[in-house]
Amino acid sequence: MSNNLLQTPIEYLKGVGPNRGELLRKELGIHKYQDLINLFPNRYIDRTRYYKINELQNNNAEVQIIGKIINIKTVEQKRGKRLVATFVDDTGQIELVWFQGHKWIRESLKLNVVIVIFGKCTSFNGLFNMAHPEIELLSEHEQSLRSAMQPVYPSTETLTNRGISNRAINKMMQQLFLETQALFSETLPDYLVNELKLIPKNVALFNIHFPKSADLLARAQFRLKFEELFFIQLQLITKNLIRKHKIKGHPFDKVGENFNNFFKNHLPFELTNAQKRVIKEIRNDMGSNAQMNRLLQGDVGSGKTIVALMSMLLALDNGFQACLMAPTEILANQHFKGLTELAENLDINIKILTGSTKIADRKIIHEELENGTLHILIGTHALLEDKVQFNNLGLAVIDEQHRFGVEQRSKLWKKNDIPPHILVMTATPIPRTLAMSLYGDLDISVIDELPPGRKPIQTVHRFDSNRLKVWKFIKDEIAKGRQIYIVYPLIQESEKMDYKDLMDGYESISRDFPLPEYAISIVHGKMKPADKDAEMERFSKGKTQIMVATTVIEVGVNIPNASVMIIESAERFGLSQLHQLRGRVGRGAEQSYCIMMTSHKLSNDSKIRMETMVRTNDGFEIAEVDLKLRGPGDLMGTQQSGVLNLQIADIVRDKDILQLARHHAMKILKDDAPMEKPEHQTLRKVFIELSKKKNIWNYIS
């Protein structure tokens, strides 16, 4: 159909008008007919089944019952009154209750007439009741045009309060299908629709809103989910192809003195096969004429730093400079320390630039950068300032990318005529499915084995009532010369409470581990940075055996002698946080332990989190579970969340459809990247429309 009708402003739809139109725009972002069509139901209520009163269960489900009202009364209560009607069928009786609108409802209720009621049932003192039910005469109910599966649309409190109920949205939708006659043009090539046995676009849209049967609903959902994910993948893969063809990179064709010298003489330990594989992938990328854009994933302690250094040495060997950007000063300092130690026998100049670098030092850095005598610069956001000019930047390594937006990546590009190669590192394991959607335009490398000699950390879950045994275990470990972390949660909203928990904990630990036999460090958010650093320093030098801290220690502290991590109130941490904290131990050759302490009262999610941590050390598996529990939005932080504004597909539940969509998008682009073949005309048109818009569904109709 012509897209023009779908571009009609929503207030022109019969039954909407300017006031409702304004509300729909504000609350649901619905501006045009098209946006309404693409407001997909969250769930469906099965109206094919009628319950008998003696079949009801107290499970808060929505049910529909045929029967009649035999009496109506008003009951006084603390505030105002409630209207109560007794409703019966041939198996029993329930009460219908209204808390407002009495006069109007009372007039509309008829005694001893057969009606159909619909609503949520709850049981109170053994008697079931239903508040504010929907009521319809059986005779009318049998005639109304309603699909068996009734859609429930996304809504907001404001909409409900202003009278735009689910029923009202349903009415608008019916009106919209009448006006457009459900003629929606196909968006996918015919051969793909046939090959995958997809139902046509207009049938899918009709059945997503007015399902004729559960089977048609399932097919409609599959068709629309596939389409959404398919177009996202088309975009991402196209971006990647264009970059590889158009954006020239510096070809690093030689492997020289720095790289070879380090590889042969200064490797602190034998590289794992995973590290070797990843370095090879990076060398291939940087050796070609295209600019590298690679995501390097590896769990805490898997040896990403060495891979980063060796990639930088390749840049130096080819006459270029390299930089490494980290999200926080602590992390930047740690990278600086790590890389300086690794490269101490090489003749290279490495410096660090952060917000607290002194002006005199900055001047030297700027000069050396511009005349090319500074080889590697490590830093925070400070690297992005305009004053920071490189002589010839060949490689930029970005750590924990999800804290940097895409704009920041492009700032690094502009430091050169030819953009540098980009290596993005992350210790946050991103499940493959999510990586395909978030970083579909990056090539992905994974370090999936730990360096030799590392023993997997033993993880256990203990209840508070076992505390004495846990303390005894700690004393034994300290007697062997090990160090211990004890971490308390810190959650912004309840900061005062958390601070009190931490202090109470610190006092009771001090009583159980008295001086002079034991020394304890404490680190929390209220301390001055200098004091924090001093305490960390004491712990890392081994002057204290126990470090009591809030989660501030989760980022990048490397103390090989610390072998036990105790996480207090572990049920209050998310899975990825628990996994990050566990990664703070197990840095040395000794067996390490992670003990999660919780109360006996655990929610279902908390139980799953504890079981997952005890069962596996694999960050990817943990990320998959985390994604299932939390959903994709929370996982990536905010900068990236815009990418995932999905309207019908769900990255976690629909990962099979995502893989299918990616496979077909790849196949089409390999065969016909510009989408110029006759059978790809529709595709090309839709794709071009899409490229102009931020949100995918604005055009897929």
Q: What residue ranges define each of the domains in the chain, with the CATH number in brackets?
A: 48-145 (2.40.50.140), 257-447 (3.40.50.300), 458-616 (3.40.50.300)
Give the separation between CA 141 and CA 155, rounded to whole angstroms.
25
CB 326 within 8 A of CB 268: no
Is the predicted pLDDT of residue 409 greater than 90, yes or no? no
Residues 488-502: tens digit of each pLDDT: 987 666 777 778 888
pLDDT band of 698, cuts 50, 70, 90: very low
Residues 257-295: tens digit of each pLDDT: 999 999 999 998 889 999 999 999 999 999 988 889 898
User: Judging by DSSP bridges, how do beta strands 92-98 and 115-124 pair with one another?
Assistant: unpaired
Is the predicted pLDDT of residue 57 greater than 50, yes or no? yes
Half-sphere exposure of 90 (CA within 13 A, CB side): 0
CB 499 within 8 A of CB 524: yes
**With left for phi above 0 and alpha for psi between -120 and 50, is residue 448 left, alpha or beta?**
alpha
CA neighbor of 608 nearest in space, from 592, 628, 580, 593: 628
CA distance to 133, 253, 643, 684, 693, per residue, from 109 (Å):
12, 85, 50, 57, 51
The segment with the largest mean pLDDT, out of 167-181, 486-500, 686-700, is 167-181
Torsion sign across C-alpha atoms 279, 282, 286, 288:
positive
CB 193 within 8 A of CB 682: no
Share of the chain above pLDDT 90, in %: 50
CB 64 within 8 A of CB 48: no
Q: Where are the beta strands (DSSP E) in 270-417?
A: 293-298, 321-325, 350-353, 376-379, 393-399
> Residue 626: which residues within 8 A CB-CB, separation 6 or more?
574, 575, 576, 635
* Number of Cβ within a 10 Å radius of residue 444: 16
Helices 201-209 and 214-246 cross at an angle (nearest 10°) of 130
Q: DSSP string spanning 148-207?
A: SEEEE----HHHHHTT--HHHHHHHHHHHHHHHTT-----S-HHHHHHTTPPPHHHHHHH
CA angle in degrees (0–180, nearest 5) for 99-104-109: 90
Amino acid at 560: P
* Number of Cβ within a 10 Å radius of residue 113: 11
CA neighbor of 523 nearest in space, from 472, 577, 485, 563: 485
Write down the pLDDT at residue 677. 94
User: Judging by DSSP bridges, how do beta strands 81-89 and 62-76 pair with one another?
Assistant: antiparallel
CB 69 within 8 A of CB 59: no
Residues 74-109: tens digit of each pLDDT: 998 888 888 999 999 999 999 999 988 788 888 889
CB 260 within 8 A of CB 283: no
Give the separation between CA 2 and CA 210, rounded to whole angstroms.
23
Give the separation between CA 675 and CA 678, rounded to whole angstroms.
9
Write down the pLDDT at residue 479. 96
pLDDT band of 452, cuts 50, 70, 90: confident
CA neighbor of 253 nearest in space, from 394, 372, 374, 391: 394
Give the separation between CA 385 and CA 377, rounded to whole angstroms.
13
Write down the pLDDT at residue 273. 94
CA angle in degrees (0–180, nearest 5) for 308-309-315: 95
Residue with tokens 């045929």: 66
Mean pLDDT of 54-81: 88
Mean pLDDT of 179-183: 80
CA distance to 305, 337, 404, per residue, from 401 (Å):
15, 20, 5
Mean pLDDT of 138-157: 78
Residues 319-354: tens digit of each pLDDT: 999 999 998 887 888 899 889 999 999 999 999 999
Three-state DSSP state, 691: helix
* Number of Cβ within a 10 Å radius of residue 488: 22
Judged on CB neighbours under 10 Å (0-12, 13-18, 19+), 399 is buried
Residue with tokens 């700027």: 366
pLDDT band of 695, cuts 50, 70, 90: low
